[in-house]
Structure 1
Amino acid sequence: MPDVRTVATHCPYCALQCGTRLTRERRGVSVRPTDFPVNQGGLCQKGWTAPSLLDVADRLRHPMVRRDGELVPVCWDIALDTIATGLDRIRAERGPDAIGVFGGGGLTNEKAYLLGKFARLALGTSQIDYNGRFCMSSAAAAGTAAFGLDRGLPFPVTDLGGADVVLLAGANPAETMPPLMQHLRSPELIVIDPRRTATAEQAALHLQPLPGTDLALALGLLHIAVVDGYADTRYIAERTSGFDAAWQRAMSWWPERVERVTGVPVTEQRQAVRMLAEAGSAYVLSGRGAEQHSKGVDTVSGFINLALALGLPGRPGGGYGCLTGQGNGQGGREHGQKADQLPGYRMITDQAAREHVAEVWGVRPEVLPGPGRSAYELLDALGTEDGPSALLVFGSNPVVSAPNAAHVTDHLKALDLLVVADFVPSETTELADVVLPVTQWAEEEGTMTNLEGRILRRRRLQVPPGHARSDLEVLHGIATRLGEPGHRYPTRPREVFDELRRASAGGKADYSGISYERLDSGEALHWPCPDGEHPGTPRLFLDGFAHADGRARFVAVEHREAGDVPAEVFPLTATTGRVLAQYQSGAQTRRVAELNDASPEAFVEVHPDTASRAGLAEGARARVTSPRGSTVATVRLVPTMRTDTVFLPFHFPGEGRANLLTSGALDPRSRMPEFKVSAVRLEPEVSAP
């Protein structure tokens, strides 16, 4: 397919998937925002600079194979033959589960779907998961438990603009998805965040709990809603179940107890509930701050319980939603690259689901492996006696983004074969035995699903440079070398999507009525969309929830301590997150000059009193140490920080990796790691003599 001059597509970054128009000009590619509903003519700094990704100087252009310790360019046949030979040997020696696959939430729907199919059929392995396990999995599990269905926002983003009040629990959209803020200008905002973020600065009320105590706060807010008479008893009786059990847990979380545990004053707790309850239209939204905990599912359930008690979900002008993070964080978790799922958001242990997908794939159901390890557990098992000795990584940089990063890096180094497919070098490609150059957003066709569950067309502007290929071609090339029939792994995105539609038919995330033709005609299609005449479902739950009885479920939850608790040796709590100018592991944004100039290095936000006690001043180099490791960052004095808390962004490599601090403590249901709480100490960095 040749280059074109201009194309309508979407931003390559966050889950808003802002509408853009790309144009090839003599001086390069320009971008203009479109009047797409989520961004309405706006873009953030990352969106405006996205075309710079197309011209990065160190773009991967040729396959590379490690020889005598060095990565050297080779042709595609040699690279793919090397991979297939290694996989065949490992599988013959140790079985199919000796091979792991690690995907990404930025892959298109087509790539995510074919990657899951490739893992389970071509490799025969159960060992597949993806980095979205680190992002939205707790909210997904909580939403499924409460509503019978997980879709980030069960309503369009534009509905938020008509709200009177919006509560944001652990979300900072002013930095992580700035175009969303234009929809939050009219509502009064309640922000729950340990930091005084850019979003909190715009809030009518900012609740600033100790990291790891969000669930105690959610229980306390539910307590106030019930005791102070704000609960919608008719809604609870007619549209929900499980309230009594949830209330039994919240009953003991009176406001004064909550203040002692969280540090949030009683007056602010009561004000938050009163604002939500007295609003004519209100929403409760969660982000990573509420989710990335070893009790993340329960924490999100706590906020959903509050929304249900106030009668918000499933009504026009109200509800609960999750602000999905990665570009295809929604679609990426629907089509089979998760350890426990098959396409259509089907569970891999469901026999009917296995039979349906097996029929679409042309195999017997018993051929499909069962559930595998979750993302961190997969990385933790690499190179061990019963874990994979080979790993294929698509669209992820776990050396920087995984928790307990030094430990994960050691396990990656222990592999017999590490294959990484990406479009730029990363800290993970530096360890690889084979590196495969693949296409990026403006060089490929496909679909993405944004946080609203709206399916969007990604369109190709130009051909990729050098010898880069699409991930679909890569999967086809490896599969056929492993003896699989080529027709089973199409290389044309439209053909893959048509198969995805059939595989998703009848599932929770039903795409069967969606086609490229409908999308290209301009139809706004949100799943579920079960047939070609169906208009899609922009608003879920108005006529009932997705449980068999049509009722939403309260979930009884109880607060518990984080995996790390501050003590004498590690007296502070470190929390991690994103900043405006960087994205995820930073492998892309650190290569964009304008973005890197705005945020060029790792830093740690510290209250001036805390810094003074540690002998640190503004701009000093600090060493932050946890039980797992230490990182070095530049001190930023922030008077609005809690004195018991420090903050570090996780976008930076090397000794600036915030995830050298974080632990492998996992939520028992979502298997989400605890990124948001690490016990640490702070001290000056001593330079080597």
Structure 2
Amino acid sequence: MPTEAPAPPPLTATHCPYCSLQCGMGLRAASGAPGGLEVVPRDFPVNRGALCGKGSSAPALLDPRLRLTEPLIRSAATGRLEPATWDAALALVAARLGAVGEEHGPDAVGVFGGGGLTNEKAYALGKFARVVLKTSTIDYNGRFCMSSAAAAHQRAFGVDRGLPFPLQDVARTGCVILAGSNLAETMPPAVRHLRELRENGGKLIVVDPRRTRTAEQADLHLAPRPGTDLALALGLLHLVVAQGRTDEAFIARRTTGWEAARTAVMAHWPELVEKITGVPVPQLRAAVGLFCDAPDGMVLTARGAEQHATGTDTVGAWINFCLATGRAGRPLSGYGCLTGQGNGQGGREHGQKADQLPGYRKLTDPRARAHVAGVWGVPADSLPGPGPSAYELLDALGGEVRALLVMGSNPVISAPRAAHIEGRLRALDFLAVADVVLSETAELADVVLPVTQWAEETGTMTNLEGRVLLRRAALAPPDGVRGDLSVLNSLAKLLSCEETARKFPADPETVFQELRRASAGGAADYAGISYRRIEAEDGVFWPCPDEDHPGTPRLFLERFATDDGRARFVEVTHRGPEEEPDAEYPLVLTTGRVLAQYQSGAQTRRVPELDAATPGAFVELHPLLAGRIGVADGDAVTVTSRRGHATAPARVTAAIRSDTVFMPFHWPGEGRANNLTNPALDPVSKMPEFKACAVRVERAGPAA
């Protein structure tokens, strides 16, 4: 009799560890595969089986040779990080954090989290900071991601969720304005939704100073000078008003504040906006025509529009544009933000952000404090108040903040004015880092704790749609590696007592059950979401207040989340970037990402196929500029700002404005782009101005 073929190894349904799409994928054991796992595409709504190179190569980083597998302590004798036991490492972290808190006060101990942490870890980290360390000094790298969009969402709609509709709705609307996003390189599987939009007869307008792979797919590409996105949005709304294309019935029925917003926008006439932005008036008129002629429309923003000292007002102007045209609060229309990091949404909803408690509750709200304190079993008046934002926290290191615990972040690369921040980290009395790899920040630490990563742990993530997902463990971590929740449990025991440690369970589902109670009644209400429901329903959209509630894929269809149910227009006017070009620094630098790398590159730079695709930094500049400074493609150039310099090979291309240069920010060393960027902060969101600063570019030498 013929023998039956052996059954394939079991498949673990999970999600990609990288961006906020959180693409569905399957994992199964495979001998000889990188990390011992094979990636199997999975039909999930956001990606429908598609994966980018980062997702398909994700298991490579599970290889113990590429990551941390034992704690490290800096030797007093040699000054080097040397292997240590977990007991010794944890005891040292607890002793030093406790001593600094006792000598200098609890706020001298800081906590810096990450937008890639699961909801459970983000929740536990915020609780640990406020209950065990009793510090207000906690924030996370998500402040550098979509904080401006979050602040504008709150002002206009009363709640912040990246997309108030499922991503699949994008393909069915009539026109999309994509402002400051290069989806083709940052979220490649999402491009299929734009492609389907155009196949369905819809129109795509891309706003970007570079003609990116995404802009090449657009019906209309607007290329403003970096730092002028606010003027562009105001100019388009001016034309809507001047052409009589406002939806007066919608404005009267569902909004407030229109008169003041309209008065402000009328100061931004087309010819003035062309002078500020460099976008010709005919293109401005064409954009308004495409958007207003369509039956439905969406504006989607990302970091290009948001990472400015005017980011909140810029997003507010785009929201005003949607409200004035009636493109909000109804199916297939609205404003949305394309969240960047894998759990940038959930990471701030549940307590890592300096001013928020779980459920998107305000830390200054007495009722919110009482509710969360009740869940945590502590007095409400024991909870500290709001602390400094991410950059303010990092800038205070070595001064007001003397010790720091970092989980899942690499600010040596990702923070603006990076060389200065590296110096502040070196000035600390004590630095502990929990991470998967020995990042550039971990290299500076006194103690490094090796923790589990995506395929070795179970936990929830909240993607850009507000869909709560379950990432499942597919294999055990290497010996010597522990979970972040276990680390917090151990530190709570050492810093406090056994009773306090019981408030920090290491089991993620137990933590999530508590998170549900803590978020109940808040704006981001997870009370009705359980692991069982997530598995059965391919994720559940918040708010979901009870287990009989279906979840909320589409917000605002009946009312906005404000007290009166109406969206709020916000009066905004144009302000330029904090630094304008001058004789010494005549150009504008903008920064961003490339297809093969992710965020600070700490993980992707260690994956051979990704590193080979884009192995280092570069400077993109226009042929006219290259000719002026005598540079050919591949020649080394030095970019200098008021904060520092970076050197990398030139990429000469007509796809960028002649007054602008571009650098990706994934690399350390000479090509560290964030040496240059401006830490000027948005007054509302505290977002640094990554996307526009004045620079000069000079030839550094011939190609290597």
Q: TM-score, normalised by structure 2?
A: 0.96
Which of 159, 166, 170 lines up with 1:149 in the alignment? 159
Which whole-Å CA distance do the structure 1 matches of 2:517 and 2:269 have between them?
51
Which of 14, 21, 25 lines up with 2:26 in the alignment? 21
**Does structure 2 conserve the Cα–Cα contact (< 8 Å) formed by 1:193 and 1:208?**
yes
Answering whether residue 419 of structure 2 is matched by residue 406 of structure 1, we say: yes
Counterpart residue identity of residue 6, structure 1? L
Answering whether residue 511 of structure 2 is matched by residue 496 of structure 1, we say: yes
Answering whether residue 391 of structure 2 is matched by residue 391 of structure 1, we say: no
Partner of 2:211 in structure 1? 196
SS in 1 for 2:502: helix
**Does structure 1 conserve the Cα–Cα contact (< 8 Å) formed by 2:300 and 2:335?**
yes
Partner of 2:451 in structure 1? 438
Partner of 1:506 in structure 2? 521
Which of 52, 61, 71 lines up with 2:69 in the alignment? 61
**Does structure 2 conserve the Cα–Cα contact (< 8 Å) formed by 1:136 and 1:288?**
yes
* 1:35 to partner: Cα distance: 0.8
Matches within 5 A, 1:456-495: 456-484=469-497, 485-495=500-510
**Does structure 1 conserve the Cα–Cα contact (< 8 Å) formed by 2:601 and 2:667?**
yes
The CA deviation string for residues 16-68 of structure 1, in whole angstroms up to 9 with x for no partner, is 00000001012231112111000011111111111111116231000010013
Counterpart residue identity of residue 243, structure 1? W
Which whole-Å CA distance do the structure 2 matches of 1:188 and 1:54 have between them?
42
**Does structure 1 conserve the Cα–Cα contact (< 8 Å) formed by 2:179 and 2:302?**
yes
**Does structure 1 conserve the Cα–Cα contact (< 8 Å) formed by 2:205 and 2:287?**
yes
Which whole-Å CA distance do the structure 2 matches of 1:42 and 1:417 have between them?
44
Which whole-Å CA distance do the structure 2 matches of 1:198 and 1:259 have between them?
24
Answering whether residue 152 of structure 2 is matched by residue 137 of structure 1, we say: no
Which of 100, 103, 109 lines up with 2:119 in the alignment? 109
**Does structure 2 conserve the Cα–Cα contact (< 8 Å) formed by 1:56 and 1:591?**
no
Which whole-Å CA distance do the structure 2 matches of 1:361 and 1:640 have between them?
53
Which whole-Å CA distance do the structure 1 matches of 2:591 and 2:450 have between them?
30
Partner of 1:177 in structure 2? 187
Give 5+ residue unaligned stretches, structure 1. none
The CA deviation string for residues 117-153 of structure 1, in whole angstroms up to 9 with x for no partner, is 0000110000000000000100000011110010000
Partner of 2:5 in structure 1? none
SS in 1 for 2:485: helix
SS in 1 for 2:688: coil
Task: State the aligned residue count.
Answer: 682
**Does structure 2 conserve the Cα–Cα contact (< 8 Å) formed by 1:127 and 1:373?**
yes
SS in 2 for 1:57: helix
Which whole-Å CA distance do the structure 2 matches of 1:657 and 1:319 have between them?
37
Which whole-Å CA distance do the structure 2 matches of 1:311 and 1:454 have between them?
25
* 1:520 to partner: Cα distance: 2.2
Partner of 1:50 in structure 2? 58
SS in 2 for 1:648: strand
Answering whether residue 556 of structure 2 is matched by residue 541 of structure 1, we say: yes
**Does structure 2 conserve the Cα–Cα contact (< 8 Å) formed by 1:630 and 1:661?**
yes
Which whole-Å CA distance do the structure 2 matches of 1:175 and 1:640 have between them?
15
SS in 2 for 1:685: strand
Which of 201, 225, 229 lines up with 1:210 in the alignment? 225
Which whole-Å CA distance do the structure 2 matches of 1:668 and 1:684 have between them?
37
Matches within 5 A, 1:625-640: 625-640=640-655
Which whole-Å CA distance do the structure 2 matches of 1:524 and 1:464 have between them?
25
SS in 2 for 1:664: strand
Counterpart residue identity of residue 559, structure 1? H
SS in 2 for 1:424: coil
The CA deviation string for residues 1-26 of structure 1, in whole angstroms up to 9 with x for no partner, is xxx84200000000000000001012
* 1:616 to partner: Cα distance: 1.1
Counterpart residue identity of residue 592, structure 1? V
**Does structure 1 conserve the Cα–Cα contact (< 8 Å) formed by 2:469 and 2:538?**
no
Counterpart residue identity of residue 61, structure 2? L
Which whole-Å CA distance do the structure 2 matches of 1:239 and 1:483 have between them?
51
Which of 660, 677, 680 lines up with 2:695 in the alignment? 680
Moved more, 46-55 or 208-217: 46-55
Partner of 2:370 in structure 1? 355
SS in 2 for 1:344: coil
Counterpart residue identity of residue 128, structure 1? I
The CA deviation string for residues 286-340 of structure 1, in whole angstroms up to 9 with x for no partner, is 0000100001000000111101111011101111100000000110110000000
The CA deviation string for residues 582-606 of structure 1, in whole angstroms up to 9 with x for no partner, is 0000011101111111110100100
Partner of 2:49 in structure 1? 41
Which of 455, 460, 464 lines up with 1:451 in the alignment? 464
Could you tell me the percent identity over the aligned residues?
62
Which whole-Å CA distance do the structure 1 matches of 2:685 and 2:651 have between them?
34
Partner of 1:311 in structure 2? 326
Counterpart residue identity of residue 391, structure 1? L
**Does structure 2 conserve the Cα–Cα contact (< 8 Å) formed by 1:5 and 1:461?**
no
Counterpart residue identity of residue 433, structure 1? D
Partner of 1:419 in structure 2? 432
Answering whether residue 84 of structure 2 is matched by residue 71 of structure 1, we say: no
Counterpart residue identity of residue 130, structure 1? Y
Counterpart residue identity of residue 332, structure 2? G
**Does structure 1 conserve the Cα–Cα contact (< 8 Å) formed by 2:64 and 2:478?**
no
Counterpart residue identity of residue 65, structure 2? A
Output the aligned Cα RMSD.
Answer: 1.0
**Does structure 2 conserve the Cα–Cα contact (< 8 Å) formed by 1:585 and 1:650?**
yes
The CA deviation string for residues 437-483 of structure 1, in whole angstroms up to 9 with x for no partner, is 00000000000000000000010011111311000001111111001
Which whole-Å CA distance do the structure 1 matches of 2:480 and 2:317 have between them?
50
Partner of 2:134 in structure 1? 124
* 1:349 to partner: Cα distance: 0.3
* 1:686 to partner: Cα distance: 5.2
SS in 2 for 1:224: helix
Matches within 5 A, 1:558-637: 558-637=573-652
Counterpart residue identity of residue 127, structure 1? T
Counterpart residue identity of residue 176, structure 2? V
Which of 4, 7, 12 lines up with 1:7 in the alignment? 12
* 1:522 to partner: Cα distance: 3.0
**Does structure 1 conserve the Cα–Cα contact (< 8 Å) formed by 2:635 and 2:701?**
no
Partner of 2:6 in structure 1? none
**Does structure 2 conserve the Cα–Cα contact (< 8 Å) formed by 1:572 and 1:646?**
yes
Partner of 1:245 in structure 2? 260
**Does structure 2 conserve the Cα–Cα contact (< 8 Å) formed by 1:97 and 1:388?**
yes
**Does structure 2 conserve the Cα–Cα contact (< 8 Å) formed by 1:58 and 1:425?**
no
Which whole-Å CA distance do the structure 2 matches of 1:9 and 1:686 have between them?
47
Which whole-Å CA distance do the structure 1 matches of 2:305 and 2:63 have between them?
37
Counterpart residue identity of residue 321, structure 1? G
**Does structure 2 conserve the Cα–Cα contact (< 8 Å) formed by 1:606 and 1:637?**
yes
SS in 1 for 2:537: coil
**Does structure 2 conserve the Cα–Cα contact (< 8 Å) formed by 1:9 and 1:22?**
yes
Counterpart residue identity of residue 656, structure 2? M
* 1:523 to partner: Cα distance: 5.0
The CA deviation string for residues 397-439 of structure 1, in whole angstroms up to 9 with x for no partner, is 0000000001100000000110000011110011000000000
SS in 2 for 1:167: strand
SS in 2 for 1:559: coil
